[in-house]
Amino acid sequence: MRLINPNTQRLSHWETFLFAIVALVGSTAIGLATILLPNPIFALAIVIVPVGVWLIFDKPELGLLFLFFMVYIRLSDVLVQAHRLPSIAKLFIPFMALAILARWVLYKEQPKDIKALWILAAYALIGLTSILYAAAPDRVIEALITFTKDGLIFLIIIVLLRNASTLHLVIWTLLAGAIFLGTISVYQQITGSFANDFWGFGGANQMNIVGTSSDFRIGGPLLDPNAFGRYMLLAVPLAIDRFWNEEQPLLRALAAWAFTVSVLAILFTFSRGSFLALVIMLVFLFVRRRPSLKVVMITAVIALLLIPFVPDQYTERLFSLKNIVGEGNESFETDYSLRGRVSENLSGWMMFTDHPFLGVGLNNFDYHYQSYSRQLGLDPRREERAPHNLYLEYMSELGIVGITWLIALQVIAFRGLWRAEKTFRQLDMTSHAGICVGLSAVLVGYLASGIFLHVSHPRFFWMLYGLIIAIPVVAKTELEAANTVADA
């Protein structure tokens, strides 16, 4: 039997010699690095980094997939804070931008349809203006520096996410991240391994649950439980959509896995806001796309199987939400978390009424909180606090101008998803139309959670909206390709 293809091109003598020299030098360098460097992982980087640079430059879509995975599981933050390693985001994100520019110059791959650039420009202008009147301009500058890095992620996604096959891979990359984080969280909760942080991806802290009772709340990769609940919300509708639309049994099984661990992770955070957002999101999803009876029954069975895993105090914590409107309720007096939220929200509204047009300045809510909180007398904590409300955050910090920008962003996002879904259905690409429905549900869930949470992690915000804003471009590309084939 011939094991070698006779058509395979053989290396010349000089190419063989050069390959041998490179292999010898490379292996020697790796061996010395393993001995001399303080961390063996640096030796591995000597091999991985050059290969990764070449692959990403040759196929930028691979870099895009890694970017989504890295941002979603917070890989760079974990490596820096939990392992004291250099930030890969500081190197990788600029490299991706340079790779795009290099391919533009060398291969004339000019970015198209980057009309969304005005979204970044408008936000930057609003933020820069607030330097002029903010009481703490240094905090504005700090927020703008963060925005510059995260805005670059937004632009990279807009430029590189161009076709339906890449979109499909992006969705599964996010679900892979959800499976990774969710599985760690579920294992941690079931086994009680709260002292183990699972390499930085499985945080858990004992916190107040309701009244004076406390318990461990899952926080994921260096996040507080409420923020982690919002992260895992992203995966739920996408997992349901893939379970409904994927044809391969293995992919449907993976989608069911992602759905199960994501929902359980949300429950284990004890986040009231994430739970309510989850319910609203699921209702929206089932109304927008009514699945077959068989699929509904399977989904219901999976949901019923999750009930035994619900923590004992979870329902009691959910019912504590009614205390917001209670009059002289004793449990409200002892629920310091709830009292703090009410104080933060009322303080945000007072800041807005005092500075309605431009607000108090980007990233300046924390600076002003105590002066307003003391007037209310609800929150005994004497520390800077965040608004814990997406809408009051924009209203208090950036006024009418800021909340108008936020509303305009939602209009663009929902309208783009609706148009893309319509185009995909016109092309008989029902699976990708389902992705549009799933992302619409994600957006509904994110906005619903905004009633209880502010933009505590802006990188996630810009990644999510970069993905959503890019979808109409993907649909347009597929339509143009179909029209070209039809004309031919």
pLDDT in tens, 47-62: 566 666 677 777 889 9
pTM: 0.86
Contact 138, 194 (CB under 8 A): no
Query: Total structural domains in the chain?
Result: 2
pLDDT confidence bin for 1, thresholds 50/70/90: very low
Report d(CA 325, CA 447) in Å as an integer.
22
Write down which residue in 110, 132, 164 finishes a domain.
110
Residues 168 and 242 in one domain: yes
- pLDDT digits 0-9 by tens, 204-240: 888 866 666 777 899 999 778 999 999 999 999 999 9
Q: Within this chain, do residues 273 and 178 fall inside the same structural domain, yes or no?
A: yes
Give the pLDDT of residue 313.
67
- Give the percent of the chain with pLDDT over 90: 55
71 and 135 in a single domain? The answer is: no
282 alpha-carbon distance from chain centroid: 19
Same domain, 177 and 310: yes
CA distance 368 to 421: 44
Q: Which of 75, 95, 110 is a domain's end point? A: 110
Q: What is the mean pLDDT of residues 103-121?
A: 80
101 shares a domain with 138:
no
- Which residues on neighbouring strands pair with residue 218, listed in sequence order? 204
Q: Which of 253-257, 295-299, 329-333 has the highest mean pLDDT?
A: 253-257
What is the rounded distance in angstroms from the CA atom of residue 255 to the CA atom of residue 65? Answer: 18
Average pLDDT, the chain: 84
Residue 74 lies in a domain: yes
Task: Please indicate, yes or no, whether residues 248 and 285 belong to a single structural domain of this protein.
Answer: yes
Lowest mean pLDDT among 155-159, 307-311, 388-392, 445-449: 307-311
Domain containing 67: what range?
40-110
Measured CA to CA, the distance from residue 361 to residue 143 in angstroms comes to 11
Q: Please count the CA atoms within 13 angstroms of the CA of 63 that sit on its side-chain side.
A: 28
Q: Indicate whether 22 belongs to any domain.
A: no
User: Do residue 440 and residue 467 come from a single domain?
Assistant: yes
**Does residue 431 sit within a domain?**
yes
Q: What is the mean pLDDT of residues 450-476?
A: 94
Statement: residue 40 has pLDDT above 80 = no
Q: Are 79 and 87 in contact (CB under 8 A)?
A: yes
Instruction: Return the half-sphere exposure (C-beta side, CA atoms, 13 A cut-off) of residue 209.
Output: 19
Question: What average pLDDT score do residues 144-162 get?
Answer: 94
Within this chain, do residues 151 and 233 fall inside the same structural domain, yes or no?
yes
pLDDT tens-digit readout, 266-294: 999 988 889 899 999 999 998 887 767 77
Q: Report how far Cα 394 is from the mean position of its chain's Cα atoms.
A: 20
Predicted confidence band at 6 (pLDDT cuts at 50, 70, 90)? very low
Asked if 171 and 55 sit in the same domain, the reply is: no
State residue 2's pLDDT score.
38
Task: State the pLDDT at residue 5.
Answer: 41
C-alpha span between 331 and 338 (Å, rounded): 10
The residue out of 110, 130, 154 marking a domain boundary is 110
Give the 3-state secondary structure percentages of the chain, helix then strand then coil, rounded to 5.
Answer: 75, 5, 20
Distance CA(50)–CA(44), nearest Å, equals: 11
Question: What are the contacts of 321-327 at 24+ separation with CB within 8 A?
Answer: 321/272, 321/276
Residue 254 domain-assigned (yes or no):
yes
C-alpha span between 166 and 179 (Å, rounded): 20
The C-alpha atoms of residue 235 and residue 262 are separated, in whole angstroms, by 7
Q: Is position 241 within any domain?
A: yes
**13 falls within a domain:** no
Residues 134 and 202 in one domain: yes
Tell me: do 180 and 49 sit in the same domain: no
Q: For residue 286, is it within any domain?
A: yes
Q: Are both 100 and 127 inside the same structural domain?
A: no
Considering the domain boundaries, does residue 25 fall inside one? no
